[in-house]
Amino acid sequence: MGTSYTVLFDLAGNPVTPPTLKTLRVSAAGQSGDYTFDVTGQSFQDMGWTGEQFTFVANSAQTTLQFLMLNAATRWGPAIDNVRVVPEPATLGLILVGLSCFCFHRRLR
């Protein structure tokens, strides 16, 4: 709870069907971000994947991460790949400090 996370993912879109702009909403813990991908000039052989990121602060012990297509008029929207969720560096540092203290304490026994 209160931990900040960054969601890293690759974004592209179906290059063959309309609309040209594929729109995606990423949400977690009541926070969201919208992302748009333009498929102009892309193909299935070269979809033009772009790296994206979304940061949120967890507000409970479990958090649902959701990817929602906003192009309601079609079934052929954005594509996502390579999704990773990582704690923010400051949070990771606190985790490492806590783990080090725990290991040191165990070693003293």
pLDDT, tens digit, 9 for 90 and up, residues 6-46: 999 999 999 988 999 999 999 999 999 999 999 999 999 99
**Structural domain of 27:** 4-108
* CATH code of residue 59: 2.60.120
pLDDT score of 47: 96
Read off the pLDDT of each residue in 89-105 and give the average, rounded to a whole number.
Answer: 59
User: Is the pTM above the cut of 0.75?
Assistant: yes
Angstrom distance (rounded) from CA 89 to CA 98: 14
Q: How many residues does the chain have?
A: 109
Instruction: Name 41's Cβ contacts closer than 8 Å, sequence gap at least 6.
Output: 48
DSSP string, 20-69: SEEEEEEEETTEEEEEEEE-TT--SS----EEEEEEEE--SSS---EEEE
What the block records as the tokens of 38 is: 């333009």
More confident residue, 99 or 39: 39
Q: With beta carbons less than 8 A apart as the criterion, state whether 25 and 109 touch.
A: no
Domain count, the chain: 1
